[in-house]
Structure formats: structure tokens, C-alpha cells
Amino acid sequence: MLLAGDVGGTKTILAVYSREAGPYTPVAKTEVHSAGYGSLTAIAREFLTQVKVSVDRACFAVAGPVVDGRSKITNLPWVIDESTVAKELQLESVHLMNDVEAIAFAVPGLRADDLRTINVGAPVPRGAIAVIAPGTGLGEAFLTWEGSRYIAHASEGGHASYAPTDQTQLGLLAFMLKHFDHVSYEQVCSGIGIPHIYEYLRSSGHAKETPAVAAAMAAASDPSPTIIKFGLDPAHPSALCAAALDILTSILGDEAGNLALKVLATGGVYLAGGIATHALPALESQRFMQAFTNKGRFAQLMGRMPIHVIVIRAALAGAAGFGLENFTPGSEHG
């Protein structure tokens, strides 16, 4: 039996899987707020005690870089180490992988119902595939064809320097530089980035903040879902939220295109993460595709790349699939 997890800055999802049932049919599952616990071990121990299922190995997709079996979670004060977790949970083997790498691992096995297509394009068989995931932070990964199958590769491209593409975004960068020494794409294109865009527009007088939005944001622990909600809600329109969502869509389209160019993603581009699914109507607008294809002489090439939004928690399926496929009992890290 395998314990698999999707460990994010906001939520942690754990589930138990068997080889017979596969990575899409968990025996037991739980979802908790990550910040409510002091460690991954505490969540796992509580979960395993509740479900009373015995596991001998684990694979966790974590929101941070993994180096030599160890990861500092980017938006949590957690350090996770494979050997330490294995010892504390009395498991034979534990493996950590970057969460977007796990999503990438799951991509070849995704089902039609797991996707919403933004651009059909013309996929090239065995062409490289790009994965970009705006959630609490901004994750990036890619896949390359290696002989007989796709191999997933981790990346921390979301922390690359942000490059504005119009006058409004130039103003956003100037605003951000007043508060940060380095402005990355994650800081303007993720759950932690949306409030920055909103505050820039509000403070610059782009539009007035409505009382309803102000009250909802004051009551929310995370303002990003509120901004997205009012930005998409025709019944309670907010010009400020709509403008923030428009800029987010443009930045995400541009950075997805940057990643696609860098890995030559002729096999397709896959978007994942909570921001992508919650803001799906905005991504289906022309604004996203305009930004994605705005690459000068390569505009036509960009237009031929298929683009899909993954509408399931693919990191969990990827971690489960990797663990079931690659682990052998008795190995230290699988």
C-alpha cells in the first residue's frame, strides 16, 4: 500500500493507494489546510491513525524544489526530508518530487474528462510538453520524449524575473519594485500575486473598490478567490477585480508562451493549479491566447501548440502513479 500526497502552500491532500486499483482510485483520502499543522509528518500520522490502513511506502508531491531528497516548502515554514519522514512514520521508503513535476508525470495518462481545451492546435507526436501551474505560487515543468515514453523534468521557472509587456504592466513592475528587490513571475501570476495586481490598480486609481468587494476581502483569509469571483461575476460587477483578472490572464498567457518557446512545446501546453481552474472563463477568452501567441515571428508556431487546462488535482495522481510504478519495498528512496 502506498501513501501519496499533494503538499501545497494552502492545502495538503493525502490518500492511500493500492497497485491493483491504480492512481485514480484511492482507498482513503483527506484534505486539510497546510498551515494548521506544524509538519507533513503530523498530517500523515493523523490521517493514517484515522483510516487504520497500513502502508509501507510513500510518495509526496511538494510545492518546492527537491534537492537530494530534501525540500523547503516555498510558501510554508516546513523542511521535508525523505529519510526523516520515513523514520518518523516507520515506512520502508519515501520519495519527494516537485509538485509540478508530479503533474507533468501524470500528463501522459490524463483522461479526456480531466481536461478543458483552450486551443486545439496541431500537436506534434513525441514533441516536448510544457506544464505551468498557478496555485498559491507559480510552478513550471516540462516533459521530453526519451525513447519509449515521456520523462518529466522539474523547474523553478516561476521565480524567473518578471518582464512587463505593456504600459500597464510597466506600472505594475514599478509598483512591485517599491516593495521587493526582485520581482518574479510568481509574485504577479499566482495566488500570492493576484492581491499585488489588485493593490496596484486600486492605489493607482484605475477603478474604485466597491463596498461589497472591500467587505469580502476583509473577511477572507486569502483575497485571491474573492478577486477572481468578483472579476467573473456579472451580477456583482467590480471593474477593479475585472481589471486585475485581465492583467493576470495576460501575464499567465505570456509566461506560458515563454515556457512553451523555451522547451519548444509542440506536444502541447498544460495549465494546472487552483488559479487556472477557478479563472477558467478568463483563460478561455481571447486575452489569454493573444498574450500566448504574441511572440513576434513565432506567432504562427505558438498558435499551432495545443493548450489544455487540467481540471483535476493531477499532482496527487502523479505522485501516486510515480510511487506505484517506481517503488520497490526495501529501497531507501524508491
What class is the 111-311 domain? alpha beta
pLDDT range class, residue 330, cuts 50, 70, 90: very low
pLDDT at position 332 is 42
pLDDT tens digits, one per residue of 86-107: 999 999 999 999 999 999 999 9
pLDDT at position 184 is 98
Cβ atoms of 77 and 34 within 8 Å: the answer is: no
Cβ atoms of 287 and 254 within 8 Å: the answer is: no
Beta strands 57-62 and 93-98 are: parallel
- Measured CA to CA, the distance from residue 200 to residue 228 in angstroms comes to 16
pLDDT at 328 over 60: no
| Cα 25 from chain centroid (whole Å) | 22
Domain 2-104+314-326 indexed as CATH 3.40.50.1820: no
pLDDT at 44 over 80: yes
The closest of 294, 190, 181, 308 to 244, measured between CA atoms, is 190
Q: Show Cβ contacts of residue 240 under 8 Å, excluding neighbours closer than 6 positions.
A: 198, 201, 202, 206, 207, 208, 209, 210, 213
Rg from Cα positions in the chain: 20
pLDDT tens digits, one per residue of 10-24: 889 999 999 888 888
The closest of 68, 78, 86 to 3, measured between CA atoms, is 86
Vertex 139: Cα angle to 285 and 180 (nearest 5): 95
- Measured CA to CA, the distance from residue 261 to residue 274 in angstroms comes to 24
- Measured CA to CA, the distance from residue 83 to residue 66 in angstroms comes to 13
pLDDT at position 235 is 86
The closest of 193, 76, 108, 96 to 154, measured between CA atoms, is 96
Q: Delimit the domains of the chain by residue range.
A: 2-104+314-326, 111-311
Return mean pLDDT, the chain.
93
pLDDT tens digits, one per residue of 47-88: 999 998 899 999 999 988 899 999 998 778 999 999 999 999
Lowest mean pLDDT across 7-11, 255-259, 316-320: 7-11
pLDDT at position 152 is 93
> Which residue's entry shows cell 483520502?
29
- Measured CA to CA, the distance from residue 112 to residue 242 in angstroms comes to 30
Taking 3-state DSSP, the helix, strand and coil percentages for the chain, each rounded to the nearest 5, stand at 45, 25, 35
pLDDT at position 327 is 61
- Measured CA to CA, the distance from residue 219 to residue 199 in angstroms comes to 17
SS3 85: helix
pLDDT tens digits, one per residue of 201-244: 999 999 899 999 999 999 998 899 999 999 999 888 899 999 99
pLDDT tens digits, one per residue of 156-183: 999 999 999 999 999 999 999 999 999 9
DSSP string, 180-223: -SS-BSGGGSSTTTHHHHHHHHHHTTSSPPPHHHHHHHHH-SSH
Cα distance from N-terminal residue to C-terminal residue, the chain: 14
pLDDT at 329 over 80: no
Residue 157, C-alpha cell as written in the block:
521557472
284: β partners: none
323 half-sphere exposure, CB direction, 13 A CA radius? 33
SS3 59: strand
Cβ atoms of 110 and 37 within 8 Å: the answer is: no
pLDDT at position 334 is 39
